[in-house]
Amino acid sequence: MDALIKSMLDQKKWAVVGATANQGKFGYKIYQKLKRFGYEVYAVNPMYAEIEGDKCYPSLADLPVKVDCVDVVVNPEKASEALKEVMELGIKNIWFQPGTFTPEIVEASEVAGINTVYLNCVLVELDNL
């Protein structure tokens, strides 16, 4: 396993930007799988007050704690907004799910000194632990 991916999966506090109550979407599957694997995980989506009894936050800035890693499961336009929040909050790790980024977003993240994973899927990588 790539050292950066392993390092990120070793972090225990995660936020999922784009978490959803829709069980057919990756935002739901990733959020639930992180929880099953024992991570402290926070749902971020302004469209929900809660997801299956868990509080859902409108933005990263609204989280009650500073997370170690942000998993992005939204379209590139919203992913760009999430990256700005990650930079403002000083979060050091971001994971862009396939289809959530552009080359410009990845470059901006890396230039900002943020540990950046893209192309790989958290669902797959958790099974490789």
Instruction: Check: CB of residue 82 under 8 Å from CB of residue 72.
Output: yes
Averaged confidence pLDDT in the chain: 96
Asked if the structure places residue 119 within a domain, the reply is no
Q: What is the mean pLDDT of residues 15-40?
A: 97
Answer whether residue 46 is part of any domain. yes
- Quote the pTM value: 0.96
Strands (E), 1-129: 13-17, 40-44, 50-51, 54-57, 69-72, 93-96, 115-117
Residue 15: give the domain boundaries. Answer: 3-111
Q: Average pLDDT of 6-15?
A: 97
Residue 19 domain flag: yes
Domain count, the chain: 1
Dihedral sign, Cα of residue 126, residue 35, residue 117, residue 2: negative
Instruction: End-to-end CA distance of the chain: give it in Å, rounded.
Output: 8
- CATH code of 38's domain: 3.40.50.720
Does residue 58 fall inside a structural domain? yes
